[in-house]
Structure 1
Amino acid sequence: MKLKDKVCIVTGAASGIGNAIAHRYAAEGGKVAIADLNIDAAEKAASDIREKFSVEAMALAMDVTSEEQVNDGVAKVVDAWGTVDVLVSNAGIQIVNPIEEFAFADWKKMLAIHLDGAFLTSKAVIPHMYRQKSGSIIFMGSVHSKEASPLKSAYVTAKHGLLGLSRVIAKEGGKKGVRTNVICPGFVKTPLVDKQIPEQAKELGISEEEVVSKVMLGQTVDTEFTTVEDIAEVALFFAAFETNALTGQSLIASHGWCME
């Protein structure tokens, strides 16, 4: 098992991509903390993992924009399991609007969840990783870490920012055994993406079918959505990689939408 007894925290893991990553880590023997705003859903996800994989799993009520909640959640994990080996900063939301109509409050909310959340969770786990001279931090970026799309000014800004934060942590943590990398998915069929389809149809004045076929999947090689299982495999690859040969990097999984 690639993550046997490794202590893993995954934010936004009660559903969607985060949940798939948590399940993949548990299948490889990891102890998994499900951190989420929705504690009831997190408790259910942790219970499902314990039942399915016979590994330890816990739920954490965590707003990743709250330093207190982040620090308390990490402390609970360390109290229970002794350390943190893997962090996946996955929690995120989407708000779409043209920039001239983008509310400043929404801009700040988007950057807080994506960037402040990545910063605060990293800051909380890094001392434990430094102490044991090993650890993997994984940020959930996007093809929008590399590209831009209309209506997504805050999202694109935040996802670009994660690349910079990852590279700094890689530079600071390398000699202390800590790696950090960014996963850049294309469109993954999750509730977050489902919500965008009617919103973008309205803003762009096209049908929902055209949003999917042209806006979301039009530049892929096969007009297929990326799956949560695809992204979970990338997350496992980064978490289980054993040396600093792979740090400060980003990996795109987008059915060829973005290539580099």
Structure 2
Amino acid sequence: MELTDRICIVTGGASGIGFEIARTFAQAGGKVVIADINVDAANDAARALGEGHTGVDMDVTDEAAVQRGVEKVIAEHGRIDVLVSNAGIQIVKRVEEFSYADWRKVVAIHLDGGFLTSKAVLPHMYARGSGTILYVGSVHSQEASALKAPYVSAKHGLMGLARTIAKEGGPHGVRTNVICPGFVRTPLVDKQIPEQAKDLGISEEEVVNEVMLGETVDKEFTTVEDVAHTALFLATFPSNALTGQSIVVSHGWRMD
């Protein structure tokens, strides 16, 4: 699976799942642009990938900032072949305890960010007659868990966005798919363990073994490598035969 000289933007790519996708794309020959709200971290991550990779300042909830970032990539490289919409956060509370501000923050980064970055890159992909957009969704794109209302809602929304763009973009050679990981042991997930233990009145061990891994086939977390390998497969798939789909990567937690 090769991405030789393809220009790949990865949002939220300075750490975690995003950085592993960026690293895997770079190893496959892609030229990676790490887009992150922390531009210093984006530049550091790009340097860690080696020569030919760059960082760009991008707040995915700010339309002007997204447009500036995309135009910078076009000015430097002349095209965009792959967009990975990965930026995200998590806030864990019950619905009645969520402030509207926190609701909007989660939804804006996951769903508005997916929309704004897609909107910005699509004209360039359409002009070339090809392109791939990948959304990092979640098993929560297809089902729900307690304490995660805005996250679940946003991840469901990404499915609708991907399918709509698959319909609109197909005639222009653009395909979209959603990667749906199970729990990945990142700082984002580590933060949730004590929060859920407190709210649910159970131990942290029970949160891990019953809430997070209880439905998996092997009691294993999904890894960043699992997600990155799936992203590479989808980014290099050669036709529109695979578009508008969700690929679940969850050690059997969710089986479709």
Q: Please tell me the TM-score bracket, short chain as reference.
A: over 0.9
Q: 1:98 maps to which residue?
A: 94
Correspondence for 1:124 among 120, 123, 128: 120
Distance in 2 between residues matched to 1:175 and 1:216, nearest whole Å: 40
Partner deviation per Cα, 1:10-57 (whole Å, 9 max, x = no partner): 00000000000000000011000001111121111000101xxx4x11
Q: Which ranges in structure 1 are unaligned for 5 or more consecutive residues? A: none
Provide the secondary structure at the position in 1 that maps to 2:246: strand
Q: Does 1:252 align with 2:248?
A: yes
Correspondence for 1:166 among 162, 167, 174: 162
Q: Does 1:14 align with 2:14?
A: yes
Partner deviation per Cα, 1:130-179 (whole Å, 9 max, x = no partner): 01100000001000001110001111100000000000000000000000
Q: Structure 1 vs Structure 2: percent identity of aligned residues? A: 67
TM-score (norm 2): 0.99
| Paired residues, number | 256
Q: 2:215 maps to which residue?
A: 219
Partner deviation per Cα, 1:44-78 (whole Å, 9 max, x = no partner): 1000101xxx4x11111111000111001111111
Distance in 1 between residues matched to 2:160 and 2:109, nearest whole Å: 16
Q: 2:133 maps to which residue?
A: 137
Correspondence for 2:204 among 200, 208, 211: 208
Distance in 2 between residues matched to 1:198 and 1:172, nearest whole Å: 43
TM-score (norm 1): 0.97
Q: Does 1:194 align with 2:194?
A: no
Distance in 2 between residues matched to 1:205 and 1:178, nearest whole Å: 47
Q: Which ranges in structure 2 are unaligned for 5 or more consecutive residues? A: none
Correspondence for 1:109 among 79, 82, 105: 105
Provide the secondary structure at the position in 2 that maps to 1:244: coil
Q: 2:69 maps to which residue?
A: 73
Shift in Å at residue 235 of structure 1? Answer: 0.4
Q: 1:32 maps to which residue?
A: 32
Q: 1:87 maps to which residue?
A: 83
Task: Report runs of 4+ in structure 1 exceeding 6 Å deviation.
Answer: none
Provide the secondary structure at the position in 1 that maps to 2:179: strand
Q: Does 1:45 align with 2:55?
A: no
Q: 1:184 maps to which residue?
A: 180
